[in-house]
Amino acid sequence: MFCMYYLINEVGNISNWEGEGDFMINSNTRKLCLSGWLKHNNEQEYNTPLKLQKFLLLYEAFSKVAGEVADFVHLKGYKRGPVFSNVWGDYTKERELFDFAAEQSYSRREVDINEIRAKKCAFIVSTLSEKELSDFTHKMNIWKSKESRIISGEYQVALSENDFNQEDEELISLLESMYPIEMINSSRIISIDNHHFIFNQEDISRLTEEHFDTLSILVENEELYNPIYVEIDEEGRLLID
């Protein structure tokens, strides 16, 4: 039997030694802490690699627009949008260790996270499909400025915070304004076949099997765009916005 040791160094990286071998988690403490928050509060989205990446990107973009410290280090351009390559590598190659490191960082640094901002980012990635999230990030200049190189197949194109311009600020500000925290706190998401319906908490208890059948029919036969806001009127009918 061997012992496993986890050490956090001065730049927030976590190293691991197993007997004769060794490897390192390259994600910094900030990204690990944010990942741990998502794992703790919305494990389903945490378990979807692209949605974890979009959560991290939105949090950093919201932080920058708010005039606070933002971390775009190791951000690379891929065809499906910006990716924090250090997090992607750790998450896909050393998942068990990454999970542990994220949980540990979150438990130690929970107070460092802007809870309202994190809730907004998690809600957004929960109410959009992976394609919709990718399409949104493709509108950001920080990705578009390198689009030709990315689409041509160049590997791991470095993205620069300097390319996060005024248009990006306006786009991110508009997105944030669409999701007030009061609405998020009073809502619940029902997902059916990659369609995300937003209900008021008060209406959730009124949902019947017939309502779910109706939603399933809508998903199969109507062209719907996430997020889909739904209310139940006094007669029990679904009102789709």
Break the chain into its structural domains and give their ranges.
4-184, 186-240
- pLDDT of the residue at 241: 82
Has residue 212 got a pLDDT over 60? yes
Reported as a single tens digit per residue, the pLDDT across 144-162 is 999 999 999 999 999 999 9
Q: What is the mean pLDDT of the chain?
A: 90
Does the predicted TM-score (pTM) go above 0.85? yes
> Residue holding tokens 């508009």?
174
pLDDT band at 222 (very low <50, low <70, confident <90, very high): confident
Query: DSSP assignment, residue 94?
Result: S
CA distances from 147 to 57, 81, 82, 127, 169 (A): 17, 9, 11, 26, 19
Report the 10 Å Cβ neighbour count for 236.
11
Has residue 8 got a pLDDT over 70? no
CA distance 40 to 106: 9
